[in-house]
Amino acid sequence: MDLDDFIKKIPENNNLSASQLIPYFAYFLLRIKGLDSFSAKDIENCFSESHIKPYTNIPSFLSSKLKGQSSLFIKDKEGKYHLQRKVIQEIEPIIKTNEEAPSPSNNLFPIELLDNTRDYIKKVATQAISCYDFNLFDASLVMIRKLIETLIIELFEIEGIANKIKNDKGHFFYLSDLIDKLESETSWNLTRNTIKSLGDIKKYGDLSAHNRRFNARKPDLDGLKKDLRIVIEELVVLIDFQRKR
Tell me the C-alpha distance between 140 and 216, whole Å: 9
pLDDT value for 68: 45
**pTM exceeds cut of 0.75:** no
**164 within 8 A of 181, measured Cβ to Cβ:** yes
Residue 166 Cα distances to 161, 174, 209, angstroms: 10, 9, 21
Tell me the C-alpha distance between 95 and 99, whole Å: 6
Within 50-174, residue ranges assigned H as helices are 58-63, 85-97, 119-133, 137-159
Residue 42 Cα distances to 15, 25, 29, 39, 46, angstroms: 22, 9, 8, 5, 6
Residue 5 Cα distances to 33, 91, 125, angstroms: 13, 16, 25
For 1-30, write each residue's pLDDT tens digit: 789 889 988 988 888 999 999 999 999 999
At residue 178 the predicted structure's pLDDT band, cuts being 50, 70 and 90, is very high
The stretch 212-217 carries a mean pLDDT of 93
What torsion do the CA atoms of 78, 81, 84, 85 make, to the nearest 10 degrees? -80
- Please report the domains of the chain, with CATH numbers, ordered by start residue: 3-97 (no CATH), 111-244 (1.20.120)
Tell me the C-alpha distance between 29 and 38, whole Å: 7
For 52-91, write each residue's pLDDT tens digit: 999 999 999 998 765 545 678 999 999 999 999 999 999 9
Name which of 127, 152, 144, 149 is nearest 208 in CA terms: 144
Name which of 183, 160, 164 is nearest 172 in CA terms: 164
For 106-157, write each residue's pLDDT tens digit: 999 999 999 888 889 999 999 999 999 999 999 999 999 999 999 999 999 9
Strand pairing report for 81-83 and 73-75 = antiparallel
